[in-house]
Structure 1
Amino acid sequence: MEVLFTFLPRDNQQERLRAEFPEVNFQFLYKDKTHLPKADIVVTYGEDLTAQDIESTNNLKWIMVASAGIEKMPHAAIAEKGIVVSNVRGIHKTPMAESALAHLLSLKRALPFIYDNQRKKEWNRKTKSSELSGSTAIIFGPGAIGSEIGRLLQAFGVHTIGCNRTGKESESMDEMVSFNNSLNVLPKADIIISVLPSTKETRHLLKAEHFQAMKETAIFMNLGRGDLVEDRIMLDAMQNNEIAYAVLDVFEQEPLPDNHPYWTMDNVIISPHVSSHSGKYVERALDVFIPNLHAWLSGAKTPTNPVDMERGY
C-alpha cells in the first residue's frame, strides 16, 4: 500500500503515521509527483492535481482532500477512473468561526479606530462603538462552519437566520430561508456572512440587487469562496457605500492584484484567504484521515466526508 502526501506534515506528524501504519509506505513529497503512478491513496490540499496527473495513475483508488473545497480538482478525469474522493469537512469550524467573531467584534468595538489613534498618539474617545447584542445575522451556508458561527453569535444575543438551497432547518439558526427567498430577509440583517462552497448553484449567487437590499449599516463577510459575487458588483457596492463594511477573505482572483481598489478602501477589510488557518489544521486533518485509513485497510471503501464530484461538495 502506497500513500502519497503532496504536502509536508511536520516531522512528528509523519512519524505518527509511520508508527501507526508500519505496513504502509508513506511518501511525503512537496510538488514532486514522481510516485503518483504507484500511489494507492493520495492526500492533497486539492489544488495541485491536474487531469494529466490523474491519467498517469495506475493504482489510485482514493483521494483524501485536506480541505473542504474541491473546485480546483480535475473532476471529469477523477470521475472517469472511479476514484473515491473525501474531504475534511468540519475541521475548519473552530478557526473560521473565531475569525468571523474576531472581525465582527473588532468592527463593532471600533478596534481599528483605537489602534490607529494609538499609532498617532491621539487620545480620542469618539469611538462610535456598537454592540453585537440585539442584531440580526444571515448566514449563507449553515453547515458545520456556519452553524458554529451561529452558535457563537447566539451567545452574544444575535438573532440568526440561515440561508441554504432548500431552507431546511439547520443547527443554531433561529430562522431558515432558501436562496430564492434571501431578498426577503436581507433588509433586516445587520450582518451577512457567507461560508458557501463554490458550486454551480452558488457561483455569482449574490447580485447587485442583494447588496442594494442590505442596510447601509450592514457588515458583509465572505469567508467561503470568491465566486459568490462578481468582483465588479462587490466593488460597486463598496464604492457606492451600499453597506458599511465588507470583510473579504476570498476573491475571484487570488492573490488579489496589488493595484486593486480594495487595498486603499477604508470600508473593506482584506484577509488573504486565511480565515481557516490554525496551527492545529494538519493535526485535525490527520484525525480524520487516520480512522479512515484504518477502515480502508480493513476493506471499507467509503471514507467519511465523501464528496459528490458532480455537485461539488
Structure 2
Amino acid sequence: MIYFTFDPRPDLKNDLLSSIREEKFEFTRQVDVELLKQAEILVTYGEDLTVEHLPFMNDLKWIFVASAGIEKMPLKELKEKGIAVSNVRGIHKTPMAESVLAHILTAYRSLKTIYKEEEQKNWNKKVPSKELFGSTAIILGPGAIGGEIGRLLQAFHVKTIGCNRSGKKADFMDDMISFDGLLNALPEADIVISVLPSTEETKNLITAEHFKAMKNDAMFMNFGRGSLVATDVLIEALENGEVGSIVCDVFEEEPLPAHSALWNFEQMTVSPHVSSHSSRYLERSFDIFKRNMKIYKNGDLANLENLVNLEAGY
C-alpha cells in the first residue's frame, strides 16, 4: 500500500491513480499510525515524521519525500531500520533560480525605490541603478539549484565562483573554491549566494569574520537553510555596515518573529521561505515518484533517483 500523509489536488491525484493502477493508495492530511502500519511506501513532505512513528513502520521499505529538505526526519533511526529514503532534489532549481535573479535585479535596478515613487505619484528620474555586467558572484552549493543560478548569471556576463566542500568542478561555474578558501575569495565578490542544505558541516558556516571580509556594498543572499548563519551575525553585519544588502528566504527561526530586529533594516529583505513555490511543484515531484515506482517494482532500491545518503543528511 502507498500511503500519502497529504492530500494532493484532484487532477494530480487522479493522474497517479490512473498511472499506477495496480497499487492501493491512501491519502490523509496528517499521519495515521494505523495506515502507517500497513504502508510499504510512504509519501510525505518530511516534516510530519518523528521518532515516535518508527515502531509503526512495520512493512515500510521506501519513503518518498516531496521536498528537498530532510533535516527534520529521524535519519539515523531510518537507516537502522533499513528504510530507503529519496527526495525531489533538483525540482526547485527553476523557481528558486528565478527568485534569486528577481531579487538581484530588484536591487541592482532599484525597483523598490521605483515602486515607492510610483505609489506617491512621483516622477523621479534620480534613481540609482547599476548593471550586473562584469560583476562577480560566489555561489555556495553549486549543485542543481546553484548551477541553474550560475547559468542565468552567466547570461548577464557575471563571473561565477562555485564553493563547495571539495572545490571540485561544477557546471556553470567559471572558478571553484572549497569551503576552506571562501574567506580569501569573499573580497572579490559583489554577490554571495547560498543554496546549501542543512548539515553539520554547513551549520553556522558563515560567521562574523566572513561578513567583515565582504565588500561593504556586497549583496548576501541565503536561499538554502537558516542554520547557515546565526541571526545575531546578520544583525551585526547590518548594524556595522559590513554588507550592502541582505536577502534571506530562510531563517534560524521560522516564521521570523515580529519582534526580530531584521525587519527594521532598510537594506534587509525578508522573504517568507517562498522561493521554491511554484504551481508546478507537485507536478514535477510526482513525475519523479512515477519514475521511481518503476525502479522500485524492479526491486532496485539502491538505484532510486535522488536516493538520500542518510549518514550525510542529503
Q: State the TM-score, normalizing by the size of structure 1.
A: 0.98
Summarize the alignment of residues 267-306 of structure 1 with structure 2, pairs less than 5 Å apart.
267-302=267-302, 303-306=304-307
* Match of residue 169 from structure 1: 169
User: How much does 1:32 deviate?
Assistant: 3.7
* Match of residue 312 from structure 1: 313
Structure 1 CA distance, aligned partners of 2:177 and 2:290?
A: 37
Structure 2 CA distance, aligned partners of 1:268 and 1:71?
A: 26
* 1:185 equivalenced with 2:191 (yes/no): no
Q: SS in structure 2 opposite 1:203?
A: coil
Structure 1 CA distance, aligned partners of 2:6 and 2:260?
A: 31
* Match of residue 111 from structure 1: 111
Residues 129-171 of structure 1 show CA distances to partners (whole Å, capped at 9, x for unaligned) of: 0111110000000001001000000000100000000100000
User: How much does 1:116 deviate?
Assistant: 0.5
* Match of residue 59 from structure 2: 59
Q: SS in structure 1 opposite 2:301?
A: coil
Structure 2 CA distance, aligned partners of 1:264 and 1:232?
A: 14
* Match of residue 242 from structure 2: 242
* Match of residue 153 from structure 1: 153
Give the AA of the match of 1:273. Answer: H
Instruction: Report the identity percentage.
Output: 54
User: How much does 1:259 deviate?
Assistant: 0.8
Contact 2:206 2:229 in 1 (8 A): yes
* 1:10 equivalenced with 2:9 (yes/no): yes
User: How much does 1:76 deviate?
Assistant: 2.3
Aligned residue-pair number: 312
* Match of residue 20 from structure 1: 19
User: How much does 1:298 deviate?
Assistant: 2.7
* Match of residue 254 from structure 1: 254
Structure 2 CA distance, aligned partners of 1:301 and 1:173?
A: 32
**Which ranges in structure 1 are unaligned for 5 or more consecutive residues?**
none
Contact 1:55 1:77 in 2 (8 A): no
Structure 1 CA distance, aligned partners of 2:271 and 2:171?
A: 27
Contact 2:195 2:224 in 1 (8 A): yes
User: How much does 1:21 deviate?
Assistant: 1.2
User: How much does 1:27 deviate?
Assistant: 1.0
Larger mean CA deviation between 49-58 and 150-159 belongs to 49-58
User: How much does 1:301 deviate?
Assistant: 1.7
User: How much does 1:102 deviate?
Assistant: 0.4
Contact 2:85 2:308 in 1 (8 A): yes
* Match of residue 29 from structure 2: 30
Q: SS in structure 2 opposite 1:118?
A: helix
Give the AA of the match of 1:147. Answer: G
User: How much does 1:299 deviate?
Assistant: 2.2
Q: Runs in 1 of length 4+ with deviation above 3 angstroms?
A: none
Contact 2:221 2:247 in 1 (8 A): yes
Summarize the alignment of residues 74-89 of structure 1 with structure 2, pairs less than 5 Å apart.
74-89=74-89
Give the AA of the match of 1:276. Answer: S
User: How much does 1:186 deviate?
Assistant: 0.2
Contact 1:7 1:30 in 2 (8 A): yes
* Match of residue 127 from structure 1: 127
Structure 2 CA distance, aligned partners of 1:202 and 1:33?
A: 34
Give the AA of the match of 1:268. Answer: M
Give the AA of the match of 1:242. Answer: E
Structure 2 CA distance, aligned partners of 1:239 and 1:251?
A: 18
